Amino acid sequence: MLDKVVFVVMDGLGDRPIPELSGDTPLEAAHTPNIDKLASASQCGSMCALGRGKKPGSDTSHLAIMGYDPTVYHSGRGPIEVAGIGIELQGGDIALRGNLGTVDHNWIIKDRRAGRIRDVQPFTEALDGLRIEDVEFIVKPGTAHRAGVVLRGRDLSDAVTDADPHELDLPVRRVDPTEKNPEAERTAEVLNSFHLKSHEILTDHPHNRRRTDQGLLPANFLLLRGAGTYRELPSFQERYGLSACCIAGGGLYKGIGAILGMKVIDVPGATGLPDTDVEAKFQTAVTKLPDFDFIFVHVKAADSLAEDGNYDGKKSFIEKIDRASRLFLDLPPDVLLVMTADHSTPCGLRQHSADPVPILFCGHGVRKDNVTTFGERACATGGLGLITGLDVMPEVENLLGRLPLIGA
Amino acid sequence: MLDKVVFVVMDGLGDRPIPELSGDTPLEAAHTPNIDKLASASQCGSMCALGRGKKPGSDTSHLAIMGYDPTVYHSGRGPIEVAGIGIELQGGDIALRGNLGTVDHNWIIKDRRAGRIRDVQPFTEALDGLRIEDVEFIVKPGTAHRAGVVLRGRDLSDAVTDADPHELDLPVRRVDPTEKNPEAERTAEVLNSFHLKSHEILTDHPHNRRRTDQGLLPANFLLLRGAGTYRELPSFQERYGLSACCIAGGGLYKGIGAILGMKVIDVPGATGLPDTDVEAKFQTAVTKLPDFDFIFVHVKAADSLAEDGNYDGKKSFIEKIDRASRLFLDLPPDVLLVMTADHSTPCGLRQHSADPVPILFCGHGVRKDNVTTFGERACATGGLGLITGLDVMPEVENLLGRLPLIGA
């Protein structure tokens, strides 16, 4: 009987045929003996996280494949990233993502990442706890140049524009309300005041004086974007009766784990980059099996490499995932292994796409089909057919014998 | 990267196995080396324009495969045909299709097409501009015995019955309201007055006196049907950011192009009949590629032949389409080719059916599958699976990298 689940999401894994890879996709071209062995023992299929013809973001697709309908539960990327940073959110909080960047005296952006600054903690500490009117600002360091910002107070709204224009040599944008109501108008004003005030504090920060002396760009502006209202979600445990943990490098994916109430486990070497230690992550997944019922493992880099159009890099990274996947060849007999992706990121397109991704379900009692390789087109012929993200968790519950009975 | 689309709809292409064709469908039995070569380079699938178990009209199915949900956007065949005739419609116009037919003095229909009259212009001219109460009648010639009629005025409704009983030796039907409201009641009255008045005018028309002298049936009645209210649709260009043209012989299909704001291109020899010059149409499609992003090509006759039960004729016509399809073998690398049908018209049934039709997507980056012939059953095993009409345009947008991102 299946009792536990290892659930591996390989970000942006799906792709399209690439002439330079003899018309194979990077996944098809990669040498993946371990995952192929797993596929041979699996029921395979294709999956469109948000359904056919929808191009998923990473946030919405993860919600869907965890069984949380994004049309109900998605409320912007800010709250997810901020949860991943470890800020405990409360219902009604407005959360934003921020970059520590460099602006000139006219607030023209000279560098969106302040020269790819790595340690932002001294700067976030200087801003953390700031109050504007009756709104408290919680400001915490994220990965590299990133920070998470939470506005806590009454009558706030996430209906505001981004300050970050996403491009160099443009001025910081005024935050404007996107809805005509007092909450949105007030939140925009408060954020504009925050930019003014925080810019002063950062400009005068001793670390910045030191950076300027060393010829480094000052981290003198916290560029905010992605406002979202935090709504409490039913936890994964509550929803499925499965204790769950999250093993991820990237902040967004830790955030997904955090907002679903999963225990977020930090694995040394899990960077969310191509140099990440996939082996350490998969080993941690296996090691944590006695402690959790559901182990969500996220691997990022196939997506980023595809966004750079680097199909060779993507192929090599998939081979790296495959080598670590040998750890899944001998899982205990009560473990269901699910391997899939959140969406395709075709190297030729350098962006997400709606193309289906492969999925495999491997474990005791699964209706093994004739698929023998884990590839986009091979899995499309699998026994599962084409499913959506919201079909995945019911399938997991079904295999575990945990679905509620409808009728009698 | 794909930038442009050639989109070919072969009307009524799908069929069922026919014993006289050794259990093949006309498409399967036809010798189609060019389309098969295209299928071999494609991702193939099956499509039900309105979904499984729905029997589509040509109007509703075309709206669906162009991405316009017919439950939202369909408002009767009249407005579409009339747009195809070239009448510029205004919001609130009521449009109807008409046949010029022959009735006796008791208004019993002796011929619904006045002996298949070809030139109706002298008759429509005699009726064009007629006013009944404050309603203006715009009457223009369609193809062969057909005309388009538009009622322009205030407080009109399309909730009225057809005057045309669609059968011989039956009386012209009184137009009745199908809803209980003053607009529908008034429109029915106005249309009944129009029939009275127009019958007088046509009976006295010098061309009819001449026809009677020559032993021809007089075109003494304009039989109206298919009332619909014109609603402005978001144009194809607006909706997809793709400049589009329409290459079609039949009025309805030109009308589809016209109501979607496509440039309707007249191709000499495009008749909408089995004698149509498919080659000229496909050549025009290729020639127009520099000028448009999306080229909709409609080919009619497979449908009409099937409605006559003529499976040999349908098979031969498909072979004619195949010969012209050699022009699509060497499309530029930025062109996506889509070939499909709007619905099946089984020769054994002599009417539309809900059986899926084959579809192929051919172009750079498409996930080519193992299908090597373009047939109903071969394509059903294709990588795309079974899709609906409303899935088609999102798939086109996906392949072009033009879908909006849902989430971040």
pLDDT digits (tens, 9 = 90+) for B262-316: 999 999 999 888 999 999 999 999 999 999 999 999 999 999 999 999 999 999 9
User: Which residues from chain A sit within 8 angstroms of residue B363, using beta carbons?
Assistant: none
User: Which residues from chain B sit within 8 angstroms of residue A72, using beta carbons?
Assistant: none
The residue assigned the tokens 């960077």 is A271
Q: Is A33 helix (H, G, I), strand (E, B) or coil?
A: helix
- What's B148's DSSP letter? E
Residue A343 sits at the chain B interface (C-beta within 8 Å)? no
With a CB cutoff of 8 Å and minimum separation 6, the contacts of A50 are: A56, A60, A61, A64, A70, A388, A389, B406
- For every residue of A88-157, DSSP letters joined together read ---TT-EEEEEEEEEE-TT-BEEETTTTT----HHHHHHHTT-EETTEEEEEEE-STTEEEEEEESSS--
pTM score: 0.89
Model confidence over A319-359: pLDDT tens digits? 999 999 999 999 999 999 999 999 999 999 999 999 999 99
User: Nearest chain B Cα to A349, which residue?
Assistant: B401
| pLDDT score, position A138 | 97
Nearest Cβ partner for A355 among B1, B367, B408:
B367
| pLDDT score, position B264 | 96
Q: CB of B247 within 8 A of CB of B298? A: yes
What's the mean pLDDT when you consider all of chain A? 95
Q: Compute the average pLDDT of residues A188-205.
A: 96
The shortest C-alpha distance from A56 to chain B (Å) reads 5
Q: CB of B404 within 8 A of CB of A55? A: yes
Residue B333 sits at the chain A interface (C-beta within 8 Å)? no
Q: What percent of chain B has pLDDT over 90?
A: 89
Q: Compute the average pLDDT of residues B47-67.
A: 97
Better pLDDT: A271 or B322 = B322
Better pLDDT: A323 or A143 = A323
Q: Compute the average pLDDT of residues B165-180.
A: 94
**Among candidates B217, B228, B172, which has minimal Cα distance to B196?**
B172
Better pLDDT: B12 or A90 = B12
Residue B395 sits at the chain A interface (C-beta within 8 Å)? yes
B278: region left, alpha or beta (phi > 0 left; psi from -120 to 50 alpha): alpha
Nearest Cβ partner for B406 among A17, A55, A355:
A55
Question: Chain A to chain B, count of Cβ pairs less than 8 Å apart?
Answer: 78
Q: Is A331 helix (H, G, I), strand (E, B) or coil?
A: coil
| pLDDT score, position A143 | 79
Tokens of B112: 């619904």
| pLDDT score, position A119 | 86
User: Nearest chain A Cα to B370, which residue?
Assistant: A377
Check CB contact under 8 Å for B406 and A60. yes
Nearest Cβ partner for B394 among A53, A57, A60:
A53
For residue A250, what pLDDT band results from cuts at 50, 70 and 90?
A: confident
User: Which residues from chain B sit within 8 angstroms of residue A17, using beta carbons?
Assistant: 365-368
- What's A267's DSSP letter? -
Query: ipTM score of the complex?
Result: 0.87
Q: Compute the average pLDDT of residues B236-246.
A: 98
CA distance A321 to A10: 9
User: Nearest chain A Cα to B380, which residue?
Assistant: A381
- For every residue of B224-264, DSSP letters joined together read EEEEEE--PPPPHHHHHS--EEEE-SSHHHHHHHHHTTPEE
The shortest C-alpha distance from A214 to chain B (Å) reads 36
Residue B407 sits at the chain A interface (C-beta within 8 Å)? yes
Model confidence over B218-228: pLDDT tens digits? 999 999 999 99
Nearest Cβ partner for A226 among B368, B383, B408:
B408
The shortest C-alpha distance from B392 to chain A (Å) reads 8
**Among candidates A220, A260, A277, which has minimal Cα distance to A101?**
A220
Residue A12 sits at the chain B interface (C-beta within 8 Å)? no
Tokens of A45: 């299929």
Check CB contact under 8 Å for B406 and A349. no
Check CB contact under 8 Å for A17 and B367. yes
- Is B166's pLDDT higher than 90? no
User: Which residues from chain B sit within 8 angstroms of residue A354, using beta carbons?
Assistant: 394-395, 398, 403
User: Which residues from chain B sit within 8 angstroms of residue A347, using beta carbons?
Assistant: none
